[in-house]
Structure 1
Amino acid sequence: MYRVLPKQTASMYTRDGVRLDADIYRPDAAESFPVLLMRQPYGRAIASTVVYAHPSWYAAQGYIVVIQDVRGRGTSAGEFKLFAHEIADGEDSIYWAAHLPGSNGKVGMYGFSYQGMTQLYAAVAKPSALKTICPAMIGYDLYTDWAYEGGAFCLQTNLAWAIQLATETARLRHDHTAYQALLTAARNLPLNNPEILQQLAPESFYHEWVAHPQADNYWEELSPKRHLQAVDLPIFHIGGWFDTYLRGTLRFYQDMAARSTQPQHLLVGPWAHLPWGRKVGEVDFGAKAASPVDRMQIRWFDQFLKDIDTGLLRESSICLFEMGSNIWHTFPNLNTANQKSYFLSTTGLASIREDSGILIQNPQSQIQNSVDVLVHDPWRPVPSLGGHAGLSAGVFERSHLDCRSDVLTYTSTLLTEDLHILGEVVVEIDCYADQPSYDVCAVLSQVQPDGKVYNLTQGYIHCPQNTAVPIKIQLQTTCVRIAKGNALRLSLSAACFPAYAMNSGNGAVLNSNDLRNAQVITLTVHCGGDRNSQIFLPVI
């Protein structure tokens, strides 16, 4: 461990003459060191310490640590526009960091969320000094991984983030009226007046995201995915089972692992977007769930920035926290060949009685053809609770939601042996709605002997029209052990609000104060016969 010098503040200028400011933390030693760079939009003093150790800790491990305000944020000059300048500004910042006094010319980057995205964009330019990155909780394809899920707009997370950025913009502009109104809105989510962004932040990215509900050229140009195809770096990928952006983390990892010549490692813990601790929602996953990321990142940087043989290249590339057993496990890959199917069966009262809807594995005979009907009332939509898509994320007791008559529940018999799930759960539902458009939310839960129900993973799909084929809902990838003596439950609803924009029967409702065109939606789910609905579990 090195002593760390007092923090310094330094500035650089981009190729178009914009000043970017940074704090620099240095070891108190005469030797040269690699540089760790974090570029972020939230004020560099915070330095992502909501999930990482303070930069001075990283400096004490023998690194020059640079925490930089991106263009138009903090004290950096210029105009902030979401992701627009991060390729060129990232390249310029890496060149500058590599040539700081005391630098050995090698640069690594770390950070999560927007700070993770700045790593991807900087890597696009392939600066020679950038040797490795450690992006956490990122969007690879911004449409499918960040803004929308299953074609549905991720209302609560997008709106909350847009208000946060707009509030900081108002503060930097010294617009006290707008700042106070936006701050009040940020502290009273979910909003009753999302139009506040239109009034006080007309330049917000939010309006563009809402205006592009399809995966069109706007998203292709904005996303880092298309630009990263020629990039080949050693990358440490970090995610959380209840993170909103886990889809992006896993898709980026899988894409890079398939084509990269450099090591690609993946770590996924039982965390929401923040913080990264042992308790997520109402469940405590134990001491081992505390974040190992800081020490693992130092080991990674020692390997690729200091050329120290840390041994990590001889270890399995995937490390996952299995919830339920609350143990970290290593795997050579994410492929799971084994699948268990559970078929939905019902007496037709799955919205009324817990014993009506049943999950049946390996039925001895054909399941009787039957239907369940749920009615979605836009005046009282099924509320979001936990999972990955809303605030607050994580695991919560949800038996009170499963008792609602607009939620269909299907429960298995008690498990006679432990069930280990690893991978992407898929729900296939044969259903029909009486409106042109509808949504379906699917939640997989564990039912305890005492009747308490805790969500494990969920998924959501926007169906723009009725089809003759069953719909497939991809649930968030998970890794969990369900102990024998518990049961599985699948819960289906036509809303999960405000995590996702509610479907009016003709499209998304972004303003819950305006329900003039919102229709009651009657959804019919078919079970058994030649119209099976089922759930596919990837098991180990």
Structure 2
Amino acid sequence: MLALRDIETLRMRMADGVHLAADVYRPVGPERYPVLVMRLPYGRKVASTVVLAHPAWYAAQGYVVLVQDVRGRGDSEGIFRILEDDVADGARTLSLAADLVGGNGMVASYGFSYHGMNQFLALAGARKSGGKVPDAMAIAMAAFDVRNHWAFEGDGFRLQSNQMWACQMAVENARLAGDLDAAHMLHAALPSLHSGAVSARPDVLEEASRYTHYQDWLADDPSYWRARSPQSLLGRVTLDVPVLHVGGWNDIMLEGTFAAFEAFSAGRGLQRLSVGPWSHIPWGRRVGALDAGAGAADGIDREIVSFFDEALKGRENPYPKVRLYDVVKEAWAGFESLPTAETLVLHLASGGRAAATSIDGTLAEKPGLASADYLVHDPWRPAPSVGLHLGTPPDFADRAAIDDRADVLVYTSDPLDRPLLLTGAPKADLFVTADRPSFDLDCTLSMLTSDGAAISVTSGHKTVKADGGGSPVSVTLRPVHVTVRAGHCLRLSIQAASFPAFPVNPGTGARPQDAAVTDRLVTTLVLRSGDGYPSTLRLPVMRQADAKDSQSHTAEENGHEP
């Protein structure tokens, strides 16, 4: 590791005269290095250290690192507006970074979450202005479509996570404005944000609306999302920049990682993808109920540096182009491209008591006799959100106790006679009707172990307005790459609520985020299966030969120290 100079703080002038504060980390000596840029709204001293190594570590690997407070945050001037000024400010910062003392003219960007998304926007701004285009980007856990990869899921408003982040940002906005009373009020409200008469409209965020974007997210205006969504702003941009895309199986923005990887893979630039076993924060080997093994403990810093060394310095990269972590195997699997999968179709069946008991419903390759299962959703005691990307706490969880609730439909396969490797996004096609105009479906795929634990693997959510057309409701679950061991069972659990991850659907046809507690109606769902109603779970399964090849690759990789 290289010795570093003292940190230098810059005031960087944007196109409209506003100055943004940035810290610069430089190695000692006369040599010139590529510049790595990170722009974040949480204060430049934080610098993504919740998941990444400190900028000083990156600089010591042979880089000049610039960490900037975005407009209106930290010590930067101006007003903070969610992803609104990052197109112009990001592009301007890239151009200034290209001329930074100690730099060699090459500029890359890196960062996580918000400071992953604003890298996409800086690229859009650079293409629009004709300025410096990044020579490479390392983007971790970022939404590509801000609405559908962050704020909403299956048209369901992500209640708890949206409120928590809105409150966090509003506290700092109020503090910077000198309104300490509002900042203290917002902070004190954090534990009870969704407990009011209208769970999605807490009084404190209404009172402090001048400090938060939250009302804009509730309004759900398509033009608002288009103006700040990377997918929209890059729609006509040539995507030929090398990118390392980093995701986590339980990250709230996982779909964004895959969508960006797919979009950029259509261009000519080098694309790499790594998906670990983690949620949004933190990244380590303990992932809820599971120990992911030593392979998950090292984070992603070494891979980021190897990628930048490859893209900016022409060095060989020891990592596979695509790395997917299998939490059951406790190992990374390496591929040249995303693995392809065959579809295993499992049919739902029951004796009519899939809600009343967790042992009646079945999953099998052959359809069963016609049956109907009744799920009564009582909004007074909504089914809870458990683990994975939106539960509290997140990550892999044993949901067996939840499956024993009488308002959860449960369908379980026989024990597997051989290991099954799932890779891709499962999908549930359900012939379900309700006695109300609207309802929610929340589907979770689990592994049922021999001791009765039901370890959640992935889930999907959908807010539905009944159309009476008789077509199945399709719920796409989030992507996975996981081995289900021989002797374990597959389980599909279906709920009509997932609170507080999502607001409770009132059943009236109104948006759940607009409904008061007193608007909510008891709703009865009927799920039909068997003859004439082929309710199914479609699983992406990797062939045994391909699985063996990937595992041999994995063994070599995990024994290699890059």
1:297 aligns to what SS in structure 2?
helix
Aligned to 2:545: none
2:518 aligns to what SS in structure 1?
coil
Corresponding position: 1:41 with 2:48 = no
Corresponding position: 1:408 with 2:406 = no
Corresponding position: 1:176 with 2:180 = yes
- How far residue 222 of structure 1 moved from its aligned partner, in angstroms, is 2.3
The whole-number CA distance in structure 2 between the counterparts of 1:271 and 1:129 is 31
1:321 aligns to what SS in structure 2?
strand
Q: Report if aligned partners of 2:170, 2:212 keep a CA contact under 8 Å in 1.
A: yes
- Alignment-mate amino acid for residue 505 of structure 2: N
Pick aligned residue for 2:273 from 257, 260, 266: 266
Deviations for 1:141-192, whole angstroms, at most 9, x for unmatched residues?
Answer: 1121111111111111111111110011111112121111111223556554
Deviations for 1:480-528, whole angstroms, at most 9, x for unmatched residues?
Answer: 111111111100010001111221112333378x312111111000010
Deviations for 1:386-444, whole angstroms, at most 9, x for unmatched residues?
Answer: 11134322111111111111001001111111111000000110000110111100000
Pick aligned residue for 2:504 from 495, 502, 505: 502
- How far residue 23 of structure 1 moved from its aligned partner, in angstroms, is 1.0
Aligned to 2:481: 479
- Alignment-mate amino acid for residue 97 of structure 1: A
Q: Which residues of structure 1 form unaligned runs of 5+?
A: none
2:437 aligns to what SS in structure 1?
coil
Aligned to 1:223: 229
2:74 aligns to what SS in structure 1?
coil
Write out the 4+ residue segments of structure 1 that deviate beyond 6 Å after TM superposition: none
Q: Report if aligned partners of 2:341, 2:423 keep a CA contact under 8 Å in 1.
A: no
- How far residue 375 of structure 1 moved from its aligned partner, in angstroms, is 0.7
Pick aligned residue for 1:146 from 147, 150, 155: 150
Q: Which residues of structure 2 form unaligned runs of 5+?
A: 543-562
- How far residue 291 of structure 1 moved from its aligned partner, in angstroms, is 3.7
1:5 aligns to what SS in structure 2?
coil
Aligned to 2:286: 279
The whole-number CA distance in structure 1 between the counterparts of 2:483 and 2:416 is 11
Aligned to 1:295: 302
Pick aligned residue for 1:359 from 349, 355, 363: 363
Deviations for 1:223-254, whole angstroms, at most 9, x for unmatched residues?
Answer: 11122242320010000000000001101101
Q: Report if aligned partners of 1:105, 1:129 keep a CA contact under 8 Å in 2.
A: no
Aligned to 1:10: 10
Larger mean Cα displacement after TM superposition, 234-243 or 384-393: 384-393
- How far residue 130 of structure 1 moved from its aligned partner, in angstroms, is 1.7
Corresponding position: 1:310 with 2:316 = yes
C-alpha spacing 1:228/1:338, structure 2 compared with 1 (3 Å): same
Structural mapping, 1:8-87, within 5 Å = 8-87=8-87
The whole-number CA distance in structure 2 between the counterparts of 1:217 and 1:90 is 21
Structural mapping, 1:121-132, within 5 Å = 121-124=121-124, 125-126=126-127, 127-128=131-132, 130-132=134-136
1:56 aligns to what SS in structure 2?
helix
Structural mapping, 1:92-241, within 5 Å = 92-124=92-124, 125-126=126-127, 127-128=131-132, 130-188=134-192, 191-192=195-196, 194-212=202-220, 216-229=222-235, 230=237, 231-241=239-249
2:517 aligns to what SS in structure 1?
coil
RMSD of equivalent CA atoms: 1.6
Corresponding position: 1:462 with 2:474 = no
The whole-number CA distance in structure 2 between the counterparts of 1:386 and 1:337 is 26
The whole-number CA distance in structure 2 between the counterparts of 1:79 and 1:26 is 29
TM-score normalised by L of structure 1: 0.95
2:119 aligns to what SS in structure 1?
helix
- How far residue 87 of structure 1 moved from its aligned partner, in angstroms, is 0.6
- Alignment-mate amino acid for residue 93 of structure 2: S
The whole-number CA distance in structure 2 between the counterparts of 1:393 and 1:509 is 23
Question: How many aligned positions are there?
Answer: 530
The whole-number CA distance in structure 1 between the counterparts of 2:303 and 2:193 is 35
Corresponding position: 1:334 with 2:338 = yes
The whole-number CA distance in structure 2 between the counterparts of 1:492 and 1:436 is 19
Percent identical residues: 39
- How far residue 334 of structure 1 moved from its aligned partner, in angstroms, is 2.5
Aligned to 1:529: 531
Aligned to 2:428: 427
- Alignment-mate amino acid for residue 143 of structure 1: R
- How far residue 322 of structure 1 moved from its aligned partner, in angstroms, is 1.0
- Alignment-mate amino acid for residue 92 of structure 2: D
Larger mean Cα displacement after TM superposition, 101-110 or 238-247: 101-110
1:446 aligns to what SS in structure 2?
strand
- How far residue 218 of structure 1 moved from its aligned partner, in angstroms, is 2.9
Q: Report if aligned partners of 2:157, 2:503 keep a CA contact under 8 Å in 1.
A: yes
Larger mean Cα displacement after TM superposition, 35-44 or 337-346: 337-346
1:334 aligns to what SS in structure 2?
coil
- How far residue 220 of structure 1 moved from its aligned partner, in angstroms, is 2.2
The whole-number CA distance in structure 1 between the counterparts of 2:133 and 2:535 is 53
C-alpha spacing 1:59/1:311, structure 2 compared with 1 (3 Å): closer
The whole-number CA distance in structure 1 between the counterparts of 2:300 and 2:195 is 34
Q: Report if aligned partners of 2:174, 2:211 keep a CA contact under 8 Å in 1.
A: no
- Alignment-mate amino acid for residue 264 of structure 1: Q
Q: Report if aligned partners of 1:437, 1:503 keep a CA contact under 8 Å in 2.
A: yes
Q: Report if aligned partners of 1:119, 1:135 keep a CA contact under 8 Å in 2.
A: yes
Aligned to 2:452: 451
Structural mapping, 1:345-356, within 5 Å = 345-356=349-360
C-alpha spacing 1:531/1:418, structure 2 compared with 1 (3 Å): same
- How far residue 335 of structure 1 moved from its aligned partner, in angstroms, is 4.8
The whole-number CA distance in structure 2 between the counterparts of 1:477 and 1:129 is 31
- Alignment-mate amino acid for residue 232 of structure 2: R
